[in-house]
Amino acid sequence: MRKVRNAVTRTVAAAAVLAAGSVLTLGGSAAAAEAGAAATIHGCPSGAVCLYPNGSWANDKPTYIFYSYGAHKIYNQYGIKRIYNHQTGGATARNCYDAAGNNCGGHQKANTYADYDYTPYNSIRLVK
């Protein structure tokens, strides 16, 4: 059985609002809005799912950054890690017990993060 710390998913809306606010100060143009959509938050680029080395933002340096849908193997990940789903369009991320992206847990919603014990997991699946 996996252990979950801080199982309640938290949004990072404050960071997104801060990024959007800085975009609006650029003049509010369509180009500025597009630049805001591509914002990097805590070292995680827009459209990616990031796994951090512990249950914090760890100096904003993720251990893994995944962009494409499907299963992504993770190696030697033990103990509490933070996952941040910074995908767009409602895409979700799932922690999976096998390396092929099967036998997965719940859906991590876009623009949320959570801390999990990654000891039993061997992959992360990005789902559209």
pLDDT in tens, 16-56: 433 333 333 333 434 443 444 469 999 999 999 999 999 99
pLDDT in tens, 45-90: 999 999 999 999 878 899 999 999 999 999 999 999 999 999 988 8
Domain boundaries, given as residue ranges, for the chain: 4-12+44-127
- CA–CA dist 125, 14 (Å, integer): 26
Report residue 78 as tokens: 């033990």
Report residue 47 as tokens: 């459209």
Structural fold of domain 4-12+44-127:
Gamma-B Crystallin; domain 1 (2.60.20)
> Rounded mean pLDDT of 105-112?
92
The CA distances from residue 61 to 26, 42, 65, in Å, are 27, 7, 10
Burial class (CB in 10 A: 0-12, 13-18, 19+), 90: exposed
- CA–CA dist 33, 19 (Å, integer): 10
